[in-house]
């Protein structure tokens, strides 16, 4: 298994597509080049176009002879500068990056600056108007727990169940990916068992719209009672980052 970080700005998402540049696609191309034969990988999360990652995980059967550290370095060199392999390790038999995951952590960064910052603009959603982070935290508390989140899911996927458990939502100062002197940045950190298609971006859009007075507070309960699909504002993808994936201790990740 491998841990990988990437800037999603130039990619059509994680998942391999026939006529688009994706993170999975370019990693598979690099692995196949090094192995001298086709290599397929499986990712823990299917991040959307423009979404970033600090701790995406993928697994594969590696047929090459290179040692793992040599492989990690060679991959990072080929994939630079948009993608870097942080860690590679041998996983237990039948390990699946996707199916063995028991939790994920995402962070959504918002900027409350009056003017765009050229160094953080591609990683933070600048929210015009007055938004109080404490207000977002107050509203977010209503979403913590195990619930049916069908009303926060966009069309485009058909999961077996729309019930998910959000372990926590924290509002913290600073961005996930930002320059040292960046100001007026806040991040909304989500930890949970898993998330539906565009669920985090839809929740973020709803929380921000309520916090700035564009929607009534009751919209949260309305969305939780809805069978979907989501019909509100979806926060833009460039503010979202997959921070990490959690596995059982014996999974080797």
Q: Do 183 and 157 sit in the same domain of this protein?
A: yes
Residue 253 domain-assigned? no
Count of alpha carbons within 13 angstroms of residue 79, beta-carbon side: 32
What's the token pair of residue 249? 């201790």
Nearest Cα neighbor of 25 from 49, 72, 98 is 49
Q: Is 61 considered catalytic here?
A: no
Gap between the Cα atoms of 100 and 252, Å rounded: 10
Residue 252 domain-assigned? no
Q: Do 54 and 167 sit in the same domain of this protein?
A: no
Residue 251 domain-assigned? no
Q: In Å, how far are 133, 144, 188, 199, 238 from 108, measured between CA atoms?
A: 13, 16, 5, 12, 9
Which of 48-57, 94-103, 174-183 shows the lowest per-residue confidence on average (mean pLDDT)?
A: 174-183
Q: Do 61 and 133 sit in the same domain of this protein?
A: no
Share above pLDDT 90 across residues of the chain, in percent, rounded to a whole number: 85
Cβ neighbors of 167 (< 8 A, separation 6 or more) are 103, 144, 191, 192, 193
Nearest Cα neighbor of 185 from 236, 227, 239, 230 is 239
Share above pLDDT 70 across residues of the chain, in percent, rounded to a whole number: 97
Q: Which residue has the higher pLDDT, 12 or 179?
A: 12
At 177 the pLDDT is: 82
- CATH number of the structural domain spanning residue 63: 3.30.70.580
Residue 88 domain-assigned? yes
Residue 197 domain-assigned? yes
pTM recorded for the entire structure: 0.94
Q: Do 228 and 115 sit in the same domain of this protein?
A: yes
End position of a domain, from candidates 40, 64, 99: 99
- CATH number of the structural domain spanning residue 130: 3.30.70.660
Q: Do 133 and 193 sit in the same domain of this protein?
A: yes
End position of a domain, from candidates 49, 80, 99: 99
End position of a domain, from candidates 99, 115, 135: 99
Q: Do 7 and 87 sit in the same domain of this protein?
A: yes
Q: Residue 201: which domain range?
A: 103-246
Q: Do 67 and 137 sit in the same domain of this protein?
A: no
Q: Do 115 and 173 sit in the same domain of this protein?
A: yes
213, pLDDT greater than 60:
yes
Q: Do 54 and 134 sit in the same domain of this protein?
A: no
Q: Do 62 and 182 sit in the same domain of this protein?
A: no
Gap between the Cα atoms of 23 and 156, Å rounded: 20
Catalytic residue, candidates 7, 48, 100, 117: 48
Residue 224 domain-assigned? yes
Residue 115 domain-assigned? yes
- 92-140 residue pLDDT tens: 999 999 999 999 999 999 999 988 888 899 999 999 878 999 999 999 9
Q: Do 149 and 231 sit in the same domain of this protein?
A: yes
Query: Number of folded domains in the chain?
Result: 2
Q: Do 132 and 228 sit in the same domain of this protein?
A: yes
- The pLDDT-based confidence of 252 (bands split at 50, 70, 90) is low
């Amino acid at each position: 298994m491998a841990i990988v970080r990437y800037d999603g700005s130039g990619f059509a998402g994680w998942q391999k597509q026939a006529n688009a540049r994706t993170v999975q696609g370019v990693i598979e191309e690099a692995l196949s080049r090094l192995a001298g034969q086709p290599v397929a990988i499986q990712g823990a999360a299917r991040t959307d176009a423009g979404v970033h990652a600090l701790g995406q995980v993928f697994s594969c059967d590696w047929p090459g002879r290179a040692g793992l550290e040599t492989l990690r370095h060679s991959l990072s060199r080929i994939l630079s500068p948009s993608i870097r392999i942080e860690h590679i390790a041998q996983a237990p038999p039948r390990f699946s990056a996707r199916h063995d995951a028991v939790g994920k952590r995402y962070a959504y960064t918002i900027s409350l600056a009056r003017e765009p910052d050229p160094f953080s603009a591609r990683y933070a959603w600048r929210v015009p108007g007055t938004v109080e982070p404490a207000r977002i935290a107050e509203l977010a508390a209503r979403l913590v727990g195990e619930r049916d989140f069908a009303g926060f899911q966009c069309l485009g996927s058909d999961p077996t169940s729309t019930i998910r458990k959000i372990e926590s939502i924290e509002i913290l100062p600073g961005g996930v990916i930002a320059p040292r002197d960046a100001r007026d940045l806040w991040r909304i950190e989500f930890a949970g068992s898993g998330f539906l298609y565009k669920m985090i971006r839809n929740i973020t859009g709803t929380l921000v719209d309520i916090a700035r007075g564009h929607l009534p507070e009751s919209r949260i309960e309305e969305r939780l009672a809805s069978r979907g699909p989501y019909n509100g504002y979806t926060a833009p993808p460039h503010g979202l980052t997959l921070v990490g994936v959690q596995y059982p201790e014996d999974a080797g990740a």
